[in-house]
Amino acid sequence: MKKLFISFAIFTSVIQVQAQCFPDQHSTSWTDSWISCQSSASPNKANAEGHWILYDLKERYNIEQLKVWNVNDPAHLDWGIKDCKIEYSGNLVDWYQAAEIRLEKANGRSDYEGMNWRNLRIPEARYILLTALSNYGKENCFGLAEIRFSAEKVIISNVDQDHSSAELFATIQPNPARDQFMAKIQSQSGENVEYSCIDIYGRVIEQGKINLSKSNYILRVITSQWIPGQYQFVVKTNSQLKRYSIIKL
């Protein structure tokens, strides 16, 4: 699947955009940054008031990496976010934490190119919420200049359609799951099927192989010891791969 790079930057005028000759470099003006000096209510009702940015990707994506440019104004480098919490959602109601990460302080030079790409596994997210936890100074202002995501667009299948002609397909019940779920795996190819359960950090929780002597197989997966959150159930053959989102209660 083709990878996409989704970029969000804050500029105050067209002149400043055009003046940025090198696409990976940022100016040394704080006006080319997002700055928050007053806390406000978070889109995630479970969070306290704070300094946050909400990104709407418009569609759902599996995010693999991110790259951040911090505030690069030499007089306000301390406003740059130091520690932040990243959460994601598909509907602005159910939120899941992806990670707490530390961002690098900008250097205040005109050739500043941000921090290196960092691995970050976020499955099937439309909304990304970044909440500042600390900055590099004592003032109550927080900011950053740009953030980019390396992502793959999620293709959502209609689970109500007839899959009798599908090469590879799985039905998950119940979902959300508490102690276990059943995966009905269908394949017409006659190939062996590999399956895996992956958490939001990309770690494989469970995996195995199935010899499909028939066109379908019912797999029981025990989830009682899993940490509540979002997971991916992946099935693949030599020629196909399908991913399904699972919520552990």
Q: What's the whole-model pTM score?
A: 0.57
Report the alpha-carbon distance of residue 90 to residue 209 in Å, rounded.
Answer: 31
| Residue spans in the chain of domains classed CATH 2.60.120.260 | 4-153
- One of 3.40.50.970, 1.20.950.20, 2.60.120.260, 3.40.50.1700 is the CATH number of 4-153, namely 2.60.120.260
| Residue spans in the chain of domains classed CATH 2.60.40.1930 | 168-248
Nearest Cα to Cα of residue 192 among 175, 168, 173: 168
Contact call for residues 82 and 105 (beta carbons, < 8 A): yes
Report the alpha-carbon distance of residue 25 to residue 22 in Å, rounded.
Answer: 5
Report the alpha-carbon distance of residue 96 to residue 98 in Å, rounded.
Answer: 6
Residue 159's pLDDT is what?
Answer: 39
Residue 48's pLDDT is what?
Answer: 94
Report the alpha-carbon distance of residue 49 to residue 40 in Å, rounded.
Answer: 5
pLDDT tens for the 249 residues of the chain, in order: 445 545 444 332 222 222 233 344 455 555 566 889 999 999 999 999 999 998 888 887 888 888 999 999 999 999 999 999 999 888 888 888 889 999 999 999 988 999 999 988 887 788 899 999 999 998 889 998 888 888 877 654 443 444 444 578 888 988 889 898 988 888 777 678 889 999 888 888 988 887 765 567 788 888 988 998 889 999 988 888 888 999 888
Measured distance between the N- and C-terminal CA atoms of the chain, rounded to whole angstroms: 30
Q: Residue 11 contacts by C-beta under 8 Å, 6 or more apart in sequence?
A: 17, 32
- To the question of domain 168-248 being in CATH 2.160.20.10, the answer is no
